[in-house]
Structure formats: C-alpha cells, structure tokens
C-alpha cells in the first residue's frame, strides 16, 4: 500500500480510505468490524465516518456508525489508525443535536464531544465540516442560486471554534467537505490572517462521471497544498455497471432510491457507464477496478474513499490500488470524458 501526505499536515495516509456509511443500515456490527479488519490487513490506515451516518440518514439510526467504529477501535493501538469524522451541517435534516446544526462554537463543541464519546477516543485526526453552513450547490446540483440564500455562521467564527478544538487536543487537523472554490479560498485566507487552522483536506465527489474538482479546486489544492479526499469513486455503484446490466440489482440505488437522486434520471449517465465498462473489460479490469484505479492515479487525490457491503466487494476494490493504468488507457478515459463530461452534474 502506498501512503500519501495528507495535505499540509504531518500525517501520511493510505492511498485508499475505508468509508463507513453502510455500517448500521446495510452492514451489521460484525460485518463492519470484519471490513475494518480486512482493510487494515491490506495496509489501509485511514477511516472516514460522520456523526450523521449510516446512510440514508435517519433520526433512529444517526450515530450508529461511529459507535460501530468506536467499539472496533477499543483495545487497539489508537495511533495505528488515522480517524476522520464530520460535523453535520444545516439545511437537510432536523437532527442530530436537536437540529442545532449551524457551525457555531457551541454547536461544533457539542458535535465533537458526541463523536468522541461514540468513537471511544479522546481525539480525531481529521475533523471535517460535512457540508457548508451557507447556501451552495451540492449533491448533484450544478448552479449557484442567490434566491436560496440563508443566514449562516461567519466563516471566521467557525474557524475560531475549530481552532479551540485543535488547541485542546480534541482535533489534530481540520478539513472541509462538499466545498466550493470560494469557500476553500476564504477559509485559507482567514487561517493565514488570524493564525487559525488551515484546512488540510477537502472531501468532494470525484469520479469518472464527476470531475468538477479539476476546474477551480484543483489549482487551489495544488498551490495551497490541500489534499482531495475523493468520495463516491464508484458513483454509488453505478460505475460497477451492475445497474446497467440489471436495473433491479441489489444495492443502494434500488434499496434507497430517494437517496440517490443525484444519479437517477441522468440521461447521459448510462452511456458514460457503458463506455467505461467496455473500456475496462478490454483491458482486463472490472469496471469497479478501472474507476478506483483511475481515481487513485490522479495527481490531485490524497486518498480515495472506498466502501462495500461485503468482503468480496471490498477486496476487489482494494486490489485496484495495485493496478497502474498505462498512458494509452488514461488517454482513452479522457476521450470518453471529453465526449460526455460530468454526466451527473
């Protein structure tokens, strides 16, 4: 397993990160622990979770994923695992924390204390804002809409609150998620001006069918040494081509159709998936391995967040880390993208 620096931090994380959003809905606790064991046996040292997991989020299951991870961590050497979690933002759910979800000092302190308790640890290595407090296009939306503006916590106040958690040792580094170029640059500017923690990472959607990071955010990441944590490299399973082969195939898209709206009814998605799947098979790869191998090969990616619902899927995904894609294959991928760019945005 190859290890990359995590942004401008002193941490080195595995090229693949184990995502945990299925733990508690699609996976039992014993299955979750087996996945964690498998991942660490293969050299993965990086776990990503969130206080709102599992997905789809539900007020009756919120926090279960962190508890599963915490019980797995108990009794193990804490310094062997790099643990990331996320604070839920406002605008989507009326919970957790009684709906107090703006990124104020009090709300972020309540969020981290709850996560630390569930995770059975006294610190997290990377603490991320799950999505912005303010109005931004995200989760499949491509256009900023001023008419949707709402009150939001000033970014400096949020960064000062995170700085307190860093000074207290509850958080080592901070990160953003589902963030825009304006948001990232503003956080970086405030950190420099006021001696506050710089975002080390941004966790954004990045896959063969969603390469929007490569526009404004890629340059910022390069020049400011901010790592991309690429989530949904398989586009909620669509890039495995299983739904193309069988629209009723078991998976998140058929179990929770309302949760995958960013991938449903996208007229160009099936064509892109078919092209990438055919390309993978011509080169002796599964469609899933092509998608993950491409993502981890990108210069802008610090770590690719993978997930699975069983060990066979997980081992197939992990095996992709050993597949180096030749230049001619990468050129074919770019040609498909150029003909059908970003079909889920």
Instruction: Kindly list the catalytic residues.
Output: 53
Cα separation values, 184 from 131, 133, 146, 174, 342, Å: 12, 13, 19, 12, 22
CB atoms within 10 A of CB 175: 27
What tokens were used for 62?
């919120």
Q: Are 70 and 120 in contact (CB under 8 A)?
A: yes
CA gap 301, 228 in Å, rounded: 5
Q: What is the DSSP letter of 262?
A: T
Cα separation values, 266 from 134, 140, 201, 214, 296, Å: 26, 10, 29, 21, 25
How far out from the chain centre does Cα 277 lie? 23
Q: Are 51 and 21 in contact (CB under 8 A)?
A: no
Q: Are 293 and 257 in contact (CB under 8 A)?
A: no
CA gap 262, 275 in Å, rounded: 20
């Amino acid at each position: 397993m190859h290890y990359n620096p995590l942004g401008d931090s002193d941490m080195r994380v595995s090229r693949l990160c184990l995502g945990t959003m299925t733990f508690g809905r699609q996976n039992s606790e014993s299955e979750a622990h087996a996945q964690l064991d498998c991942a660490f046996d293969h050299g993965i040292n990086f776990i990503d979770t969130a206080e709102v997991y599992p997905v789809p989020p539900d007020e009756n299951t919120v926090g279960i994923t962190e508890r599963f991870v915490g019980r797995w961590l108990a009794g193990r050497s804490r310094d062997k695992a790099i643990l990331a979690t996320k604070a839920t933002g406002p605008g989507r759910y009326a919970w957790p924390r009684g709906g107090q979800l703006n990124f104020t000092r009090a709300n972020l302190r309540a969020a981290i204390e709850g996560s630390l308790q569930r995770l059975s640890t006294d610190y997290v290595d990377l603490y991320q804002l799950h999505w912005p407090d303010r109005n931004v296009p995200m989760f499949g939306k491509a256009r900023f809409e001023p008419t949707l503006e709402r009150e939001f916590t000033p970014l400096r106040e949020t960064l000062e609150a995170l700085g307190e958690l860093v000074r207290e040792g509850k958080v080592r580094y901070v990160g953003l998620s589902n963030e825009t170029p304006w948001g990232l640059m503003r956080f970086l500017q405030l950190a420099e001006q006021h001696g506050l923690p710089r975002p080390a990472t941004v966790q954004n959607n990045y896959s063969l069918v969603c390469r929007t990071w490569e526009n404004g955010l890629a340059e910022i990441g390069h020049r400011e040494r901010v790592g991309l944590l690429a989530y949904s490299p398989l586009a909620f399973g669509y890039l495995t081509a299983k739904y193309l082969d069988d629209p009723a195939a078991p998976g998140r898209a058929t179990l929770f159709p309302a949760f995958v709206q960013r991938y449903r009814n996208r007229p160009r998605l099936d064509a892109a998936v078919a092209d990438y799947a055919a390309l993978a098979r011509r080169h002796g790869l599964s469609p899933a391995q092509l998608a993950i191998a491409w993502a981890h090969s990108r210069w802008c990616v610090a770590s690719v967040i993978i997930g699975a619902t069983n060990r066979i899927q997980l081992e197939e995904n992990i095996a992709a880390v050993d597949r180096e894609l030749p230049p001619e294959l990468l050129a074919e991928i770019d040609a498909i993208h150029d003909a059908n760019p970003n079909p889920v945005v």
